[in-house]
C-alpha cells in the first residue's frame, strides 16, 4: 500500500480522536456497560486469562510475599529520596547528551513536545506505548498544532484507528473482538482485504507501521524505570515498536511521570520481574530496552537528539501526604484492574479517565481533582483483591476509603486541601449524620425514636433511595431490640 | 520560578518520616540463590534452551570451528538472500570466509540506506554480550560495529552466544559484567522474536521486529550431543 493512502487514513483517525469523557458521568456509563453482554464477555474472558497467567508465574506464595516486600521497599526508598534522585537523573542524562524538561501540568508538557516537534518541521510523530502521553492528551494537542501523532503499539493503533481510547493500560484493545478488528481494518486500512486471521491482521499493521517508522521525524516513548545513577531509561515491551520509535527517527522524546525514578540499576531487576509477571504472566518480555543517550559520534543509528519530559500533573499532591504517597509506588502492571470485580464488569471506558480500575480510582483524583472524580473511589466493593495482587503492595482499599473521606469533608487540620477537597459534601447527608449523632448521644431521644419507629413501622417509605434500586425495602422490627431483650429476661 | 523549581520545592516541602534504609538487593538475591539447587554450565544451558524454545526462538548448538558453516546452511535453508553483519568484530573474518551469499556490511549511517535496510534485508547476524538462563534471554550490546537496528529491523535475526557467558539470572549478569560502570547508548535484553497478543489475547509473532530469532549457542565439541 502506498504512503499517501496511509497518511489519509491516519489523518482520518486523528480527526476522530476523542478527549476523555467526564469521570463525573461514571455511574451512567457503568450502567450502560453492565447491560452490554458482549462487552462483559470480552472483559470476563480476557481478565480470567490474565489472572490465570499471573497465578501460574507465582506458584510459591511465600516467595511471592518476599519479592513483593523487596519491590515495595525499593519503591518506598526511591520515593523517600525522590527530589535528590530526580536531580541526579537529570545530571547524568544531561552528561549523556539528553535534554531534560520539567512540566507541572499537561499544558506545559504538550507545549514542550510541540516546540521540539516544530523545531524539526515535524509532520509525523510515531508513538510507542505511553500512558503519560494519554494523560496529557498529546495526540489531540499535536492534531491541534497541525501535526500527526500515530500510535504504533498494535493495540493502541487499533483503538486510534477506530477513534477510541485504550480500555486497559496494558492491553488497550481488549474490549474489541477479532471480528470487530477484522471489519475495522478492512474498512479503514486502504488495500487491506477482509481477514479474520490474527497473523494476517498483525501483518497488515506491521506493514503500515514499518512505513511510518521510516518516515517519522520524531519517535515518542514512555519510560518504565528511570535509573538515576547511570542516566538510563528502561522500556519494557514485546512488540518492538518501542524500539522502532526510540531508534529509527532522528529525534526521540521520552515522557514520564516524576515517580518512575530508581536510584540504582540493580534496583531494576526485582521490579522488572514482578512487572511482567503481574501484568501478562510472562517471566520476561521480548525486549528490555535500556537507553542511556542519543547516537554517539561514530555510531551508525539511533536518534541524533534525545529529550526526557518529566511530568508532575498532580503527583506532587499525592507525594505531599505520607499515606497518599504510596499511590506513587505504582509500576503500572494493571494487575489491580485484572482482578477487580468492578473493572471486569464495566470495562475501562466507563471510568472516563486515562487510568481505569483501582489504580485509576486512586491516582485520578490527584490529576483531575476530586470535583471531577469523587465518584471513582466509590466504584469498589472494598473486596481487597487489588491490594492483595499489587506487586509493590500499595494499600489500595485504604486509599479508596481515605479519598472517599477527603471528598466528603474539609481538609484535616494541618493538611493542605486536596484539589477539589470536599467536592462530594452534601447538606442533606450532613443533616442526616447530625440527626443520627443527636439520636445516638441522647438516651431519651433514642428511646423515643425507637418506640415511634417500631410502632409506626407501617409508615416506612417503600422507596429508599439507592437502597431499593436492587434490594427489598428496609423495615423496622415490631419491637426495639431493648424491648425484645427485656421480654426475654422476663421469660 | 521554573516548573523544575516548583516541582522540586513541592517535593522537598513534603513531610518525611524516617527514611527507609537502602534495599539490600544483593543480600536478597544471594539468599534466593542459596535456597535453589546450585547451577552449573550444563544446567544453565539446559534451562536456557528450554526457555528460548518457549519464546519461539530456535537454538542451534555450534562450535568455534563450525558455526559459520552452520550459519551458511541455515541461511540457505531459510532462503536468506541478504545477511547484514557488523564489520571488525571478533567473528567477522570467519563469517566472510564461510561463503555465505548476499553478505551486506552495516558500514554507513542508517540515514543513507534506511529504505534498503527496511525493505531489502532478509536477515542479520550479531554477536551477544551474554545470555540469561532463567528467562531465556540474550544480552545485546550494540556499538559502532554492530548498531542497534541489526537486532530489530531484518525479519530474521541470528545471534551468536558463547555458552561461557551464560548467567543464571539478570541480576547475576548485571553485577558480574559491571553494567552500571558503563552502559552503551542502548543496551538490550532480547527474549525471542517480537510478538503481540493485542488482538483478542491471541499470540502472534513478528509484530514489528524480527519474525524469527535463531541463537547459535557456542559450545564445546563434547557438548554438541
In this structure, of A94-98, A116-120, A167-171, the range with the lowest mean pLDDT score is A167-171
Nearest CA in chain B to A312: B7
pLDDT digits (tens, 9 = 90+) for A283-342: 999 999 999 999 999 999 999 999 999 999 999 999 999 999 999 999 999 999 999 999
**Residue A484: pLDDT above 80?**
yes
pLDDT digits (tens, 9 = 90+) for B105-122: 999 999 999 999 999 999
pLDDT of the residue at A19? 52
Residues with Cβ within 8 Å of A69's Cβ and at least 6 positions away in sequence, in order, are A393
Residues with Cβ within 8 Å of B149's Cβ and at least 6 positions away in sequence, in order, are A247, A248, A301, B110, B117
pLDDT of the residue at A311? 98
pLDDT of the residue at A429? 87
Q: Is residue B21 part of a domain?
A: no
Q: Count of A–B CB contacts within 8 Å? A: 243
Looking only at the bridges linking them, the beta strands covering B130-132 and B58-62 are: unpaired
In eight-state DSSP terms, residue A300 is -
Beta carbons of B196 and A102 less than 8 Å apart = no
Question: In whole angstroms, what is the distance from residue A425 CA to residue A406 CA?
Answer: 9
Length of chain A as a residue count:
491
What total of structural domains would you count in chain B? 1
In this structure, of A420-424, B4-8, B137-141, the range with the lowest mean pLDDT score is A420-424
Q: Calculate the alpha carbon distances from A94 to A247, A301, B109 in Å.
A: 19, 20, 24
Closest CA–CA distance from residue A202 to any residue of chain B (Å): 6
Q: What is the mean pLDDT of residues B162-190?
A: 97
pLDDT of the residue at B219? 97
Q: Is residue B123 part of a domain?
A: yes
For chain A positions 12-41, those within 8 Å of chain B (CB to CB) are none
Q: Calculate the alpha carbon distances from A152 to A19, A187, A213 in Å.
A: 19, 19, 9
Q: Is residue B171 part of a domain?
A: yes
CB < 8 Å to A198, chain B: 199-200, 202, 204
Q: Is residue B17 part of a domain?
A: no
**Residue A7: pLDDT above 60?**
no
Strand partners, A311: A103, A257
Strand partners, B166: B131
pLDDT digits (tens, 9 = 90+) for A54-81: 999 999 999 999 999 999 999 999 999 9
The domain of B126 spans: 40-223
- Whether the Cβ atoms of residue A106 and residue A257 lie closer than 8 Å to each other: no
Closest CA–CA distance from residue A467 to any residue of chain B (Å): 37
**Residue A451: pLDDT above 90?**
yes
- Helix, coil or strand: residue A381: coil
pLDDT tier for residue A18 given thresholds of 50, 70 and 90: very low
The DSSP string of chain B is --HHHHHHHHHHHS---SPPPPP-HHHHHHHHHHTSPPP-HHHHHHHHHHHHHHTT-EEEEE-TTTHHHHHHHHHHHTT---EEE-TTSTTHHHHHHTT-TTEEE--S-GGGTHHHHHHS--EEEEE-SEEETTTTEEEE---SSS-GGGGTSSSEEEEEEEGGGEESSHHHHHHHTTGGG---SEEEEE-SS-EE-TTTT--EE-SSS-SEEEEEEE--GGG--
Q: Any CB–CB contact under 8 A between B116 and chain A?
A: no
pLDDT of the residue at A1? 35
Q: Is residue B25 part of a domain?
A: no
Beta carbons of A320 and B193 less than 8 Å apart = no
Question: In whole angstroms, what is the distance from residue B103 CA to residue B80 CA?
Answer: 10
> Domain residue spans in chain A?
26-144+216-316, 431-490
Q: What is the mean pLDDT of residues B70-74?
A: 97
pLDDT tier for residue A3 given thresholds of 50, 70 and 90: very low
- Whether the Cβ atoms of residue B28 and residue A128 lie closer than 8 Å to each other: no
Q: Is residue B18 part of a domain?
A: no
pLDDT of the residue at A415? 86
pLDDT digits (tens, 9 = 90+) for A82-100: 999 999 999 999 999 999 9
For chain A positions 79-108, those within 8 Å of chain B (CB to CB) are 80-83, 86-87, 96, 102-104, 108
Closest CA–CA distance from residue B150 to any residue of chain A (Å): 10
Strand partners, A219: A126, A252
In this structure, of A249-258, A336-345, B11-20, B44-53, the range with the lowest mean pLDDT score is B11-20
pLDDT of the residue at B218? 97
Choose the mutation target among B2, B6, B7 for the interface with A, i.e. most A CBs under 10 Å. B7
Nearest Cα neighbor of A379 from A18, A28, A19 is: A28
Q: Is residue B22 part of a domain?
A: no
pLDDT of the residue at A20? 59
Length of chain B as a residue count:
225
CB < 8 Å to A102, chain B: 2-4, 7
Question: In whole angstroms, what is the distance from residue B142 CA to residue B132 CA?
Answer: 17
Higher-confidence residue of A415 and B85: namely B85
Nearest Cα neighbor of A266 from B91, B195, B43, B24 is: B24
Nearest CA in chain A to B199: A178
- Whether the Cβ atoms of residue A228 and residue A261 lie closer than 8 Å to each other: yes
CB < 8 Å to A264, chain B: 25, 180
- Helix, coil or strand: residue A491: coil
Closest CA–CA distance from residue A466 to any residue of chain B (Å): 36
State if pTM tops 0.90: yes
**Residue A13: pLDDT above 60?**
no
- What count of other Cβ atoms lies within 10 Å of the Cβ of residue B65? 9
**Residue A4: pLDDT above 90?**
no
pLDDT digits (tens, 9 = 90+) for B16-35: 888 899 999 999 999 999 99
The CATH classification number of A26-144+216-316 equals 3.40.50.10420
**CATH number, domain with residue B88:** 3.40.50.10420
Residue with cell 494537542: A141
pLDDT of the residue at A205? 95
Question: In whole angstroms, what is the distance from residue A251 CA to residue A294 CA?
Answer: 9
Question: In whole angstroms, what is the distance from residue A352 CA to residue B135 CA?
Answer: 37
pLDDT of the residue at A65? 97
Amino acid at each position: 500500500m502506498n504512503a499517501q493512502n496511509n497518511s489519509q487514513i491516519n489523518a482520518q483517525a486523528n480527526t476522530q480522536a476523542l478527549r476523555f469523557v467526564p469521570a463525573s458521568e461514571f455511574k451512567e456509563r457503568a450502567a450502560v456497560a453492565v447491560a452490554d453482554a458482549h462487552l462483559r464477555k470480552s472483559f470476563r474472558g480476557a481478565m480470567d486469562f490474565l489472572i490465570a497467567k499471573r497465578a501460574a508465574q507465582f506458584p510459591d506464595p511465600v516467595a511471592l510475599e518476599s519479592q513483593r516486600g523487596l519491590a515495595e521497599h525499593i519503591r518506598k526508598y526511591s520515593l523517600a529520596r525522590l527530589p535528590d534522585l530526580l536531580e541526579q537523573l537529570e545530571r547524568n542524562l544531561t552528561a549523556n547528551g539528553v535534554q531534560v524538561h520539567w512540566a507541572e501540568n499537561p499544558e506545559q508538557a504538550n507545549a514542550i513536545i510541540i516546540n521540539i516537534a516544530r523545531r524539526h518541521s515535524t509532520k509525523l510523530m510515531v508513538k510507542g506505548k505511553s500512558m503519560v502521553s494519554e494523560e496529557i492528551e498529546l495526540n489531540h494537542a499535536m492534531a491541534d498544532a497541525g501535526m500527526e501523532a500515530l500510535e504504533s503499539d498494535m493495540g493502541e493503533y487499533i483503538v486510534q484507528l477506530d477513534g477510541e481510547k485504550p480500555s486497559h493500560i496494558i492491553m488497550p484493545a481488549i474490549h474489541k473482538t477479532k471480528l470487530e478488528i477484522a471489519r475495522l481494518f478492512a474498512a479503514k486500512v486502504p488495500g487491506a482485504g477482509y481477514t479474520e486471521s490474527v497473523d494476517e491482521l498483525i501483518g497488515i499493521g506491521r506493514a503500515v507501521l514499518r512505513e511510518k517508522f521510516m518516515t517519522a521525524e520524531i519517535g515518542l516513548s514512555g519510560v518504565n524505570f528511570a535509573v538515576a545513577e547511570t542516566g538510563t531509561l528502561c522500556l519494557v515491551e514485546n512488540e518492538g515498536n518501542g524500539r522502532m520509535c526510540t531508534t529509527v527517527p532522528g529525534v526521540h522524546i521520552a515522557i514520564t511521570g516524576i515517580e518512575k525514578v530508581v536510584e540504582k540499576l540493580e534496583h531494576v531487576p526485582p521490579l522488572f520481574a514482578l512487572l511482567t509477571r503481574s501484568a501478562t504472566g510472562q517471566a520476561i518480555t521480548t525486549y528490555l530496552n535500556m537507553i542511556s543517550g542519543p547516537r554517539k559520534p561514530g555510531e551508525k543509528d539511533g536518534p541524533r537528539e534525545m529529550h526526557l519530559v518529566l511530568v508532575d500533573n498532580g503527583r506532587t499532591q499525592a507525594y505531599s501526604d505520607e499515606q497518599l504517597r504510596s499511590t506513587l509506588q505504582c509500576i503500572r502492571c494493571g494487575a489491580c484492574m485484572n482482578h477487580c470485580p468492578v473493572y471486569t464488569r464495566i470495562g475501562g471506558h466507563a471510568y472516563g479517565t486515562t487510568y481505569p480500575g483501582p489504580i485509576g480510582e486512586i491516582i485520578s483524583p490527584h490529576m483531575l481533582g476530586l470535583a471531577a472524580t469523587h465518584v471513582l473511589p466509590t466504584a469498589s466493593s472494598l473486596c481487597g483483591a487489588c491490594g492483595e495482587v499489587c506487586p509493590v503492595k500499595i494499600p489500595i482499599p485504604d486509599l479508596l476509603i481515605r479519598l472517599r473521606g477527603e471528598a466528603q469533608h474539609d481538609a484535616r487540620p494541618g493538611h493542605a486541601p486536596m484539589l477539589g477537597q470536599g467536592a462530594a459534601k452534601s447538606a442533606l447527608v450532613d443533616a442526616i449524620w447530625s440527626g443520627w449523632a443527636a439520636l445516638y448521644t441522647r438516651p431519651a431521644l433514642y428511646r423515643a425514636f425507637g418506640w415511634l419507629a417500631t410502632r409506626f413501622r407501617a409508615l416506612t417509605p417503600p422507596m429508599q433511595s439507592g437502597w431499593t434500586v436492587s434490594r427489598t425495602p428496609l423495615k423496622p422490627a415490631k419491637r426495639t431490640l431493648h424491648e425484645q431483650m427485656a421480654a426475654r429476661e422476663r421469660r | 520560578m521554573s516548573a523544575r523549581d516548583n516541582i522540586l520545592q513541592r517535593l522537598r516541602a513534603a513531610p518525611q518520616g524516617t527514611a527507609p534504609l537502602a534495599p539490600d538487593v544483593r543480600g536478597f538475591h544471594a539468599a534466593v540463590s542459596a535456597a535453589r539447587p546450585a547451577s552449573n554450565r550444563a544446567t544453565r544451558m539446559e534451562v536456557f534452551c528450554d526457555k528460548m524454545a518457549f519464546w519461539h526462538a530456535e537454538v542451534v548448538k555450534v562450535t568455534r570451528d563450525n558455526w559459520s558453516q552452520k550459519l551458511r546452511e541455515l541461511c540457505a535453508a531459510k532462503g536468506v538472500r541478504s545477511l547484514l553483519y557488523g564489520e571488525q568484530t571478533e567473528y567477522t573474518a570467519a563469517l566472510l570466509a564461510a561463503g555465505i551469499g548476499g553478505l551486506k556490511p552495516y558500514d554507513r549511517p542508517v540515514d543513507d540506506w534506511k529504505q534498503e535496510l527496511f525493505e531489502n534485508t532478509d536477515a542479520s547476524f550479531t554477536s551477544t554480550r551474554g545470555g540469561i538462563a532463567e528467562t531465556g534471554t540474550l544480552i545485546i550490546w550494540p556499538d559502532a560495529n554492530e548498531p542497534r537496528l541489526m537486532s530489530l529491523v531484518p525479519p530474521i535475526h541470528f545471534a551468536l552466544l558463547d555458552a561461557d557467558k551464560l548467567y543464571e539470572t539478570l541480576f547475576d549478569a548485571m553485577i558480574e559484567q559491571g553494567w552500571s560502570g558503563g552502559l552503551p547508548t542502548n543496551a538490550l535484553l532480547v527474549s525471542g522474536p517480537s510478538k503481540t497478543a493485542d488482538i483478542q489475547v491471541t499470540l502472534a509473532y513478528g509484530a514489528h521486529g524480527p519474525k524469527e530469532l535463531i541463537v547459535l549457542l557456542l559450545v564445546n565439541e563434547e557438548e554438541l550431543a
